[in-house]
Chain A
């Protein structure tokens, strides 16, 4: 069970939340000009990242608000919780350019060694997840 820090309510069980898929997938500026393939890619193609992954979550049985979360898909470590609309922070909590499909994870499909290369995914203790509970969030 994950313990997720809702920006409004503080730490709550994972069962109170709903997953909203990959974050930072922007709606195309001119959908009519897209080819079928580009439209299909917008609709259905998502990253399958091994490592830090930016995703959307909804606190459905709490404050019913959406937020973004940077989560390591291997270790489940929550590296950052940040509001909708703000750019993706890197694993250390700093803001990087929003490239939409960016992933700081090493491409595990090209590594020769069996063990996953986690050099690209900082699991340093500088993660800001522990500081995201707002002031006054009692629980």
Chain B
């Protein structure tokens, strides 16, 4: 609370006090991961920006030049470097960037987006604390997700580089297939504990030898 009362402007803030939504599960994630089969970890404190803008408007084009394009339709992801833009709706996008891009750490992403939007219709909202990020990797990652996600996750349908807003384990989450065997899952912070435990439970069978 002290930080709220007197916000520090420099990047020299004491960040050791930050607790990510799934931090209490960190040890459980490590214990529950099965090396080379399916592994789960939290990627805490990514910078996320909620973007609402018509991509065909002037503001949309200016914003697109900052983020490296805006995705055109459901599932598509655009962006340059380590900044990605996920499609959430026809005029709604989620910008995902590394922690350092946040303005509290001296990054200028959010400010650049605000300036690109200007006074036109739309929103640029810092949502970094809204969701956390889980990274699920390994050959069994798809099998784990299929226990609670009704999308067709087979690679012939869901290509790497596709992000979909859907339900996983009965809670709303954004699922981003970042590679052939790796997924990023963005649950809201309040669901992080639930989804973390759900994934651990779902992963547990792969720690044992397969029953023929």
Identify the A interface with B (CB < 8 A): 8-10, 12-13, 15-16, 60-65, 134, 136-139
- Chain A residues lying within 8 Å of B150, measured Cβ to Cβ, are 12-13
- Inter-chain contact A138/B165, CB cutoff 8 Å: no
- Inter-chain contact B166/A136, CB cutoff 8 Å: no
- Over the window 126-162 of chain B, the binary record of Cβ atoms lying under 8 Å from chain A Cβ atoms (1 yes, 0 no) is 0000000000000000000000001110000111001
Question: Which of B73, B158, B165, B166 makes the CB contact (< 8 A) with A137?
Answer: B73
Question: Which of A8, A16, A60, A61 makes the CB contact (< 8 A) with B74?
Answer: A8
Looking at the assembled complex, report how far the CB atom of A6 sits from the nearest CB atom of chain B, in whole angstroms: 8
- Inter-chain contact B73/A139, CB cutoff 8 Å: no
Looking at the assembled complex, report how far the CB atom of A26 sits from the nearest CB atom of chain B, in whole angstroms: 24
Stretch in contact with the other chain, from B54-62, B87-95, B116-124: B87-95
Looking at the assembled complex, report how far the CB atom of B45 sits from the nearest CB atom of chain A, in whole angstroms: 24
- Inter-chain contact B158/A138, CB cutoff 8 Å: yes
- Chain B residues lying within 8 Å of A62, measured Cβ to Cβ, are 74, 164-166
Q: Decide: A64 near B75, CB < 8 A? Known: A12-B166, A16-B166, A139-B157.
A: no
- Inter-chain contact A13/B167, CB cutoff 8 Å: yes
- A139 vs B150: C-alpha distance when bound (angstroms): 10
Is the CB of B172 closer than 8 A to any CB of chain A? Answer: yes
- Chain A residue with Cβ nearest B75: A138
